[in-house]
Structure 1
Amino acid sequence: MSVYLPDILLAVPRNPVVAVGLPLTFGMLSGSPTRDAVKGPWYNNLQFPPGRPPSQIFPFVWSALYASMGYASHLAVRAHDAALTSEVQDATATGLLLYFGQLSLNFAWTTLFFVRNEVELALADSVLMTGMSLYMTKLFHGPTNGRTTWFLAPYCAWLSYATYINAGTWWLNRTPRRNL
């Protein structure tokens, strides 16, 4: 069975500058509400689990992760274009669909958490995004001879860590339900 991948999803990562620039640009745009939110009362009244990193490192970490995942998408589309079998094309096509899907979830997370203050929905988003990213990394591994794994493993690790922070924040700030 052949996996359908719209041409635009192949065209974007073919150019390495665009492949890296897309997640960086959208990451900066989606992160802009964060600056105001972390100064506000809602965020500052949250309880966080142990191990939360200082807020100052997030722009640097996310910039590196966005650039890294963007370059991995470039390597994946190159493997897709060079594929000699339908299995390799299907793996990279599915991986690229997951790439754009998890990227959309990544950008939605900021709105869910910082704008709408929906910690539980943000957690569901984070779990789904992490799972998609892990599977995407697995799908890209073989066709790229493991090169994408070097770029995506830090992202997967960070997402796992961020999911822990999100889960802990939800747990520590959930409202107990009352029996009526």
Structure 2
Amino acid sequence: MTTYIPSLTLPEFIFNSPAASILFPIALGTAVGFSTRPEDTGRKYLSWKQPPLRPPPWIFGPVWTVLYGTMGYAAYRAVHLGTSPLNGPSTIAAAKHGATLYTIQLGLNLAWMPLFFGLRRPLEATVDVLALLGINSYLAYLWGTAVDRTAGLLLVPYVAWLGFATYLSAGTGYLNNWDLRDPEDKAAGKKAL
């Protein structure tokens, strides 16, 4: 079990407000999405070799909006309900440990798009999404068994999508020889050697 680290954990007021818990990850995810220029991202996405079952680019925005909202509500339920003084020490500890894990996973989640589309580093992005998958699988288990079953179940679609995202990230990296640079950048890199 991880440790509760206040300095690495979102402020308590976010977890204690359902609106803040839901809107915070949606707002951050939207900001990161727009910072990577969606029109360029869609164009880049379609220009790379892709594994089978890749969805069209337009599907990611709506799916991630729902997933961010759902994970935010799960965090609200787990931390707000789990840290109630009516609970025993083990439930409160599990809720607080989960709050730290949730914060860490949110940071990793927000780093994926700049890694993959901004820096075009599919290997690092795949490592990032694998870490996300592991952390969130554990978080769903922790919250679902030690704090609030509903909170754990609310993370299941997110964990499933992360599994699919891992497949897409690794597949795209592999099929493109782990190099997503534009052809002119690749040619310039070869000339420099």
TM-score w.r.t. the length of structure 1 is: 0.88
Which residue of 51, 66, 69 maps to 2:68?
66
CA contact (8 A) 1:109 1:125 kept: yes
Write out aligned runs for 1:24-173 (5 A): 24-32=26-34, 33-40=36-43, 42-82=44-84, 84-173=87-176
More displaced stretch, 12-21 vs 78-87: 78-87
The verdict on how the C-alpha distance between 1:137 and 1:175 changes in structure 2, with shifts beyond 3 A counting, is closer
Identity %: 33
Offset, 1:17: 0.5
**2:11 aligned counterpart, secondary structure:** helix
The verdict on how the C-alpha distance between 1:30 and 1:54 changes in structure 2, with shifts beyond 3 A counting, is same
CA contact (8 A) 1:2 1:90 kept: no
The verdict on how the C-alpha distance between 1:93 and 1:175 changes in structure 2, with shifts beyond 3 A counting, is closer
TM-score w.r.t. the length of structure 2 is: 0.83
Query: CA offsets, 1:74-126, max 9 Å, x none?
Result: 00112322253222122111111111111000100010011101111100100
The verdict on how the C-alpha distance between 1:4 and 1:102 changes in structure 2, with shifts beyond 3 A counting, is closer
Between the two proteins, the alignment pairs up a number of residues equal to: 175
User: Which amino acid counterpart does residue 81 of structure 1 have in structure 2?
Assistant: T
Q: CA RMSD, aligned part only? A: 2.2
More displaced stretch, 75-84 vs 149-158: 75-84
CA contact (8 A) 1:49 1:165 kept: yes
Query: CA offsets, 1:40-70, max 9 Å, x none?
Result: 4x54431110011111111111110000000
